[in-house]
Chain A
Amino acid sequence: MTQLPPLVFCGRDPMSGKVCSSSSNNVMQARRAVEQLRVEANMERIKISIAASQLVQYCEEHGRSDPLLTGIATSANPFKDKKSCVLL
């Protein structure tokens, strides 16, 4: 169960950084919090079955070209020192 933050923060005002103790400040904060919740409540959500399967599909499509997953040949690894023979 996801938890949402408290409605009013009795302490530092996030906007000004000042400690807020006046009640009018609390009402303003509460109004802003309610408006924000309205915005978030109104969003269109898609089903997890769709969202998650697209995530899986993305991993599958790009997994073959994911160097940390597939491993890197020494010759193609810019971080590996390539030993070379010198003819004296």
Chain B
Amino acid sequence: MGEMEQLRKEAESLKDQISAARKAVHDVTLPEIVSGTAVVGRVQLKTRKTLRGHLAKIYAMHWGTDSKLCVSASQDGKLIVWDSYTTNKVHAIPLKSSWVMTCAYAPSGNMVACGGLDNMCSIYNLKGKDGNVKVMRELAAHTGYLSCCRFLNDSEIITSSGDCTCALWDIETGTQKTIFSGHMGDCMSLAVSHDFNMFISGACDYTAKLWDIREGACRQTFGGHESDINAIGFFPNGNAVLTGSDDGTCKMYDLRADQELITYQDPSIMCGVTSLAPSLSGRLILAGYDDFNCNIWDSLKAERVGVLAGHDNRVSCIGVTPDGMAACTGSWDSFLKIWN
């Protein structure tokens, strides 16, 4: 038997082992556990603020840890930092490349980052001495587009890329400390755990992976989606993962049971999920879709309990403030809306 054939057989056997192990702990389903729980009442959120200023499609937004400032990225070639309480623009940062796909706010509030078809992650210092916002570092090494980035702290950032890898960078030296490879398709999205020890990635190979940041290793792989995973996030208790896909569904996977708990789907939904964010308790999941809407799901009962309708084009990004007080949607219609 050639080595390839041997390896193929071993792989099949291990896959069967994993399937069996998952089945062995599948003693009940989430719907069965919550059969006695009532669905949450209809959730009607109103637009409280509209952030106007971008001149083209908005591709990404991210809240700062103060739940007041947020950053957005648009293909008009600008990063805008907004005071969401007043709708004032705190910073309007012109970008070298207008083909931006992601942005991030550092937990400290000192920096923002962005990247896209330039294959780079550019870090901007918001607290420079002379008050001007300048590029602090250009992290270049990915051989594909930058789909997502998230700061761990002021000196480390994690990126996901169309080159099928994710990376941990040392911002000071501008080098990749760790490369996370294993996905067989473009990495589209990532989210960092609350304790900053792990992160999850969603990719065009239809899987989500859980990574140990310090070990540089993939711990778990979750399948089941029938198309690209565009959005990913941690459930607030840190023990489950939420994914949104081009197959029109969102799923929740439990990390410790190592399998899918439930799918959020409706036959009337025929378009892809672009973005998602859980509410503070996790009971609500807000998901943005290609059909210009955002659906609000009861995460335990898997029923739609509300809709955010107000954008005139695709909802490309969504984020809930760390204090849970509001949700922000960003759209290809060039506006951001704050809802609660």
Contact = CB atoms under 8 A, between A and B. Distances in A.
- How big is the A interface, by class? 35 or more
B154 interface: no
Contacts of B85: 78-79
B191 to A, nearest CB: 17
A80 to B, nearest CB: 6
Interface string A22-36: 010011001101101
A31 B179 CA distance: 18
Interface string A1-41: 11111110100101111000001001100110110111111
Which of A5, A6, A31, A48 has the most B CB atoms < 10 Å from its CB?
Answer: A48
Interface stretch (B40-48, B94-102, B129-137): B40-48
Contacts of B325: 67-68, 72, 77-79
B223 A69 contact: no
A45 B22 contact: yes
A43 interface: yes
B236 interface: yes
A84 interface: no
Contacts of A41: 14, 17-18, 21
Nearest to B45: A68
Given A49-B27, A56-B34, A30 B8 contact: yes
B15 A37 contact: yes
B183 interface: yes
Contacts of A77: 48, 325, 340
B326 A59 contact: no
A39 B17 CA distance: 12
A75 to B, nearest CB: 13
Contact of A15 (B165, B217, B221): B165
Nearest to B255: A51
A38 B10 CA distance: 9
A28 to B, nearest CB: 10
Contact of B284 (A33, A66, A72): A66
Nearest to A16: B143
B218 A14 contact: no
A45 B219 CA distance: 12
A63 to B, nearest CB: 5
B184 A6 contact: yes
A14 B219 contact: no
A17 B143 contact: yes
Interface in B35-56: 37, 40, 43, 45, 48-49
Contacts of A7: 7-8, 11
A68 to B, nearest CB: 4
A48 B165 contact: no
A85 interface: no
A58 to B, nearest CB: 4
A55 B235 contact: yes
16 contacts: A2-B22, A17-B144, A30-B3, A36-B182, A36-B221, A38-B14, A40-B14, A41-B17, A41-B18, A46-B25, A48-B27, A52-B33, A53-B33, A63-B281, A68-B325, A79-B340
Interface of B: 3-4, 7-8, 10-11, 14-15, 17-19, 21-22, 24-30, 33-34, 37, 40, 43, 45, 48-49, 68, 84-85, 143-144, 163-165, 179, 181-184, 205-207, 217-224, 235-237, 239-240, 254, 256-261, 279-284, 299-300, 320, 323-327, 338, 340
Given A41-B14, A63-B281, A79-B325, 4 more contacts: A37-B10, A37-B18, A52-B28, A65-B280
